[in-house]
Amino acid sequence: MNTTIKIGMIGCLLCFRVLGTARGQGFASQVEGMWRAGNYAGVLAIAQERLAADTNDLPGLLLKFEYESEYLQLSAATNTAAEILRVAPQIESVSFSAVRPVVMDDAQSALELMPNYPASEYAADLLKVGTITNKALPCDYAIQALEEDGYFQ
């Protein structure tokens, strides 16, 4: 990726953070809004930033997984799902504990289904990658639960 694009992405991230803070928007709302707007690269940049600071950061892993799934990076998504299965049980906060079984089921399903993604569908689906906007962030429920537990303070 060239320097101009990197600088633009960083500027965009900073803008979203400032705007989110100014409106009292929490982390979950911020990343959900970015995802719905089709700013998948921005969501991935946040995930990478969080994971650079802590490789066990569950929100970073969840966001990275969603990006990899969206862009059909099946091998990478499978590896990230395995990391989610390793890290999620370590978080015992109240709100997240209520949704942890769903997070675990989603990650386990990814491990089982992604290696069997039909080749005939893969090529067709690859053409749609990153083109759909106003799409809900699949892990939003987990990010919201972590936010409710004060994870982002």
Chain segment 97-131, per-residue pLDDT in tens? 999 999 999 999 999 999 999 988 998 898 888 77
C-alpha to C-alpha distance for 48 and 54, rounded to whole angstroms? 10
pLDDT score recorded for residue 120? 84
pLDDT score recorded for residue 123? 86
Residue 136 CB contacts under 8 Å (≥ 6 apart), including other chains: 32, 35, 36
Give this prediction's pTM.
0.82
Secondary-structure breakdown of the chain: helix, strand, coil percentages, each rounded to the nearest 5: 75, 0, 25
Chain segment 55-100, per-residue pLDDT in tens? 999 999 999 999 999 999 999 999 999 999 999 999 999 999 999 9
Running DSSP on this structure, what letter comes out for residue 134? S
Residue with tokens 């990076």: 73
pLDDT score recorded for residue 14? 36
pLDDT score recorded for residue 130? 76
C-alpha to C-alpha distance for 2 and 7, rounded to whole angstroms? 9
Buried b (16+ CB within 10 A) or exposed e, 75-89: ebbbebbebbbebbe
Kindly report the three-state secondary structure assignment for every residue of 20-73: HHHCCCCHHHHHHHHHHCCCHHHHHHHHHHHHHHCCCCHHHHHHHHHHHHHCCC
Q: Which of 74, 62, 3, 58 is nearest to 35 (CA)?
A: 62
Q: Are 45 and 22 in contact (CB under 8 A)?
A: no
pLDDT score recorded for residue 129? 83
pLDDT score recorded for residue 50? 97
Chain segment 13-32, per-residue pLDDT in tens? 333 333 333 334 799 999 99
